[in-house]
Structure 1
Amino acid sequence: MQRTFVILLAICLAAPVTAQDRGAVERQFRDWLERRVWSEARREGVSRQTFEKAFAGVALNWDLPGLVPPGAPTDVPRLQRQAEFGSPGKYFNRGSIDGATRVGRQMAKRHAATLEAVERATGVPGHIVLGIWGRESGYGRVDIPHDAFEVLGTKGFMSARRDYFTGELVAALQIAEAGHAPKRAMKSSWAGALGQPQFMPSSFLAYAADGDGDGRADIWRSEADTIASIATYLARHGWVAGRDWGFEVTVPPSVSCTLEGPDQGRPIADWAAMGIRRVSGRSFPAHELAGEGYLLMPAGRHGPAFVVTPNFYVLKDYNMSDLYALFVGHVGDRIAYGMDDFAGGWGAVGGLYRSDVAAMQRGLEARGHDVGGADGLAGFKTRRSIGRWQEGNGRPATCFPEAGMKARLAG
């Protein structure tokens, strides 16, 4: 009954958005382009010719997610499932893992010299670069369908992160002004990311690199430039040469899942002393023992566990998701070392609406827990807060949201 009410409320609040005069909003959009975007672009050296060419025929794309048209309420309840947070195992589907691994091994052979040169220059292993490249664009094989100026213009004008996307739109105009992109290549994802590495425009300006020695950084057509650009991004975000990204482990019942998180690091030798072991049966590498490691349990006690290094969080800088970074590291290991699936299985968890998780988060906040914000996403702060709440109530800690918790936490 409560869920039905929330759905009806969302429909009622959303109705004015679908009924409003889109023609009037389009006119506001053109005015905003002239008044704000052109003003900022001109200060960054963009010519009027480039500006007009970029927006010739461009209109608002009303099909993009997360839009907040002028005058629309910004607090409409959104009921949605998000596999990346609700059901972690779905992120590691057979087709994605096998495809990225198979083609990645081909690319490792084809670009062996470039990968070795880039690793010498940046300290970033080639197989890690391949893991990102495969995830982002299927090694350049995935279609990138959207007009970048349409996407970034739409999101800059009417999204919850208008200032961010406006800045990215101006950066895209700078790319066009400098002639970095080949003709008709300014295509993007629905979020505005460009080329084979799926760089946001500002990241292109900061990190795009020349990997084939032709004097330009072409992340659209050059595989060598794509490799060099990804590695440069990771290196400048703090990749520590010589360290791994992490290790799958078993966590004994005596070690609480509430110890998870990048703010609870300790030397890997200390984790080993607590009884945490690699699933392979091998010891942690000797050179890693003194380095800091962090417990990662993305499904709590319902899935695989890991001890990760600071490099894991560099991977997260590329895409702020534990599961993204885990996918990249795992595929990289499969490419380089022939590793198999995770030893720990993903339990039958998830399937919750984000609004359900948000209700649990608000209940935890009311009890004094830091969940990192009631956003409906089960990040490490939410996971360990659930575990602490469970332990405080005399229950075994599982550290993952479950349907039965909502009534107890929200009540």
Structure 2
Amino acid sequence: MTSETRWMISQQWMLLLFLLASGYVLGGFLGLGLEAVIVTLLGFFLWHFWQFVKLYDWLSDGRKKSVPEAGGPWYRIFDELHRWRRRARKDRKRFLDIIEEFRTSTEALADAVVILSPDNAIMWANQAAKELLGIDRRYDAGTRITHLLRTPEFVQYMQREAFEEPFEMSAPAMPDKRLSIQVTPYLQGQKLVVAQDVTRLHRLEQIRRDFVANVSHELRTPLTVLNGYLELLSSHDRLSTDQMAQVVHNMTAQAKRMQAIVEDLLHLARLEKSGAARPVSGWDVTSALAQVKQEALALSDGKHDIRLQIKGKTRVRIEERDIYKICSNLVSNAVRYTPAGGRIDLIWEADSAGGNFSVRDTGPGISSTDIPRLTERFFRVDDGRSRDTGGTGLG
């Protein structure tokens, strides 16, 4: 018991004794001394009981009304309750502000965020959860997440509760997207689920695998040929002049093939180098495309009908080496994949808005499902056909 409490109790005792003495004296003048003491004592306790009733009524009403006013020792009690209520309101407002800030920040995230109860029921989800997972907090609150994401592997992942490693799956709302789902338990069994779009990383991993497979194949073939000729030269002391010429010719062709692969890789690295400045100059369309056509004719060896059409202005400002390689790759692909006897049209059209170069051929074409992947490094529509005709998928 604190000294302040002891002082308050002593004050109440002194007040009670004073009231009893005063009542006894005043009642003595009327010959009702004992009655006056009883009435005074009863009034003292009734006053305190009324203060207790006001406190109990305020608590029973959910503390919605203002804190009652009181005097005496009850003043200190009600004053502390009033201070506590003001602090509680401030804390509640601060807590609500934190919640609102959390919701606002999670709404701005591109990642899906879902809060689960201990039994995996959805408590809250941001807007990205609707887009990536198909979870709408307005309608799905209270529903178990495994009732909405029914992939058997994900259901098993949630049942095992081994959340050390993230779980990957296709987005239910957008099957072309790949998601990495990380579940983090917190508090009393609640879980924070974060789903991140890793489609780009997934594609990069696929590109890496394609790179290893394609470049390994492209390098292995010429290396095998070179190794075979080297073994031939080491095991045969004498070769005729014609045989030696054929061997040298074939080895040179394979060496040039490997050199072309390396040059393609170096050119790609130069194009993707961050901040690399490329010189821009006037590009003579007529002479450049005429050279592209001549290369196509040489590659075709008379097997195709190749025509060049030029319309509009024939000089544009652009990086010459890159644009020439792009045009050359387009045309060489058309020659490689157009059957003998087919037609290939090289068309240049230009106006005040700029120029457009297109290649039309009578070849098999490209499936609409493969068109979005044409700009991916090392991607080839048909691996078997591409390997028959050469190429690494860098063009």
| Higher helix content, 1 or 2 | 2
TM-score tier (shorter): under 0.3
**In terms of Rg, which structure is larger?**
2
Using structure 2 for the length normalisation, give the TM-score: 0.21
| More RCO (CA 8 Å, sep 6+) | 1
